[in-house]
């Protein structure tokens, strides 16, 4: 499993740390790959090559929504190398402005996808976009379910807001934990653990397939369904939570000793199940959903 950061800022836009310092900080914390996603400015470069960090090409794209002072559509865009079809050059500057609604923002996403990029919908609570404002966007492989900057500064985007509203509609979208690090203190608090070999195409393929989990600390070692029973295996935790949007959360709590495994017999009518684990410090990790075709 590879530890990765998918949403980071530097002095190339409005971040506090230089690209070199941000990369070195992540290398120190055991990250294998990261994307420098400065606002509207694409990046491929490893500014600290001594770290051997694998840089995922990317940027953060932001458009305002007419009629509000703090109401936005933001997306992280990541992609392959130029040789593998990425349509954006180093330091490509993206247009920004205002749109009326998600249907106009879809045109922005379409342009990213047409250039062989994958997109993540960012911090829906901080953007003041409830599910109804972005649920018709297509092509996002993931959405942020934890965002350290928003959690630290605003107590927002801390635990999968609106995710189940999309999943209940049959929208297959995965969940990522990111830092959106602007201040240096924001970095290295939320990440993804990806089941892939350490090369760019393998990592992008695993992300697209949902072969990863999101975390702020705990480890998820396995998550599967066997004989109608959902099973989580994890590092020491205080509770394990199972989610389906049309059913109360099933919570299994540690009694005496820490939990490392949890099971739940699923109702036959479930269309998906996902899980989260919480350690004694309150830090969480989230599985991606397992979907059932019924």
Whether the predicted model's global pTM rises above the 0.85 cut: yes
Do both 95 and 229 map to the same domain? no
Do both 119 and 235 map to the same domain? no
Query: Mean pLDDT of residues grouped by 10 in the chain (294 residues)?
Result: 98 97 98 98 97 97 84 96 98 96 97 98 96 97 98 97 96 98 97 98 98 98 97 98 94 94 93 97 97 80
**CATH for 280:** 2.60.40
Q: Residue 201: phi, psi to the nearest 5?
A: -65, -35
The pLDDT, as a whole number, for residue 25 is: 98
Do both 238 and 208 map to the same domain? no
**CATH for 104:** 3.20.20.140
The pLDDT, as a whole number, for residue 79 is: 98
Do both 138 and 269 map to the same domain? no
> Distance between CA 94 and CA 42 in Å, rounded?
8
Of 170, 191, 215, the position where a domain reaches its end is 215
The pLDDT, as a whole number, for residue 244 is: 94
Do both 63 and 192 map to the same domain? yes
> Distance between CA 155 and CA 170 in Å, rounded?
28
Do both 55 and 149 map to the same domain? yes
Do both 104 and 211 map to the same domain? yes
Counted domains in the chain: 2
> Distance between CA 130 and CA 48 in Å, rounded?
38
Q: Residue 114: phi, psi to the nearest 5?
A: -65, -20
Of 215, 247, 280, the position where a domain reaches its end is 215
Do both 104 and 159 map to the same domain? yes
Do both 73 and 124 map to the same domain? yes
The torsion region of residue 225 among left (phi > 0), alpha (psi -120 to 50) and beta comes to beta
- Beta-bridge partners for 121: 75, 143
Do both 117 and 188 map to the same domain? yes
Domain span at residue 267 reads 220-291
Chain centroid to CA 87 = 23
Maximum C-alpha span of the chain: 56
Of 215, 235, 270, the position where a domain reaches its end is 215
The pLDDT, as a whole number, for residue 33 is: 98
Helices (H), 210-288: none
Do both 256 and 120 map to the same domain? no
The pLDDT, as a whole number, for residue 12 is: 97
Do both 13 and 135 map to the same domain? yes
Residue with token string 């959690």: 151
């Amino acid at each position: 499993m590879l530890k990765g950061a998918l949403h980071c800022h530097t002095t190339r836009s409005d971040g506090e740390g230089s690209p070199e310092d941000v990369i070195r900080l992540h290398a120190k914390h055991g990250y294998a790959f990261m994307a420098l996603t400065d606002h509207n400015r694409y990046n491929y470069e490893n500014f600290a090559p001594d770290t051997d960090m694998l840089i995922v090409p990317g940027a953060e794209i932001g458009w305002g929504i007419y009629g509000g002072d703090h109401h936005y559509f933001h997306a992280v865009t990541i992609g392959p190398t130029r040789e593998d079809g990425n349509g954006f050059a180093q330091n490509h500057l993206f247009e920004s402005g205002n749109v009326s609604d998600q249907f106009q923002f879809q045109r922005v996403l379409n342009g990213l996808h047409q250039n062989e990029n994958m997109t993540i919908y960012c911090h829906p609570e901080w953007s003041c976009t409830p599910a109804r404002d972005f649920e018709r966007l297509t092509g996002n492989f993931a959405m942020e379910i934890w965002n350290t900057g928003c959690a630290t500064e605003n107590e927002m985007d801390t635990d999968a807001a609106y995710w189940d509203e999309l999943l209940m509609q049959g929208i297959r979208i995965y969940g990522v934990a990111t830092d959106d690090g602007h201040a240096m203190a924001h970095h290295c608090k939320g990440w993804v653990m990806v089941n892939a070999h350490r090369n760019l195409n393998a990592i992008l393929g695993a992300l697209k397939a949902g072969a990863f989990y999101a975390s702020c600390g705990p480890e998820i070692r396995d998550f599967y369904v066997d004989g109608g029973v959902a099973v989580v295996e994890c590092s020491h935790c205080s509770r394990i939570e199972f989610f389906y949007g049309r059913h109360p959360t099933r919570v299994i709590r540690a009694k005496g000793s820490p939990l490392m495994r949890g099971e739940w017999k699923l109702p036959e009518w479930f269309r998906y199940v996902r899980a989260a684990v919480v350690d004694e410090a309150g830090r969480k990790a989230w599985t991606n959903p397992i979907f059932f075709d019924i």
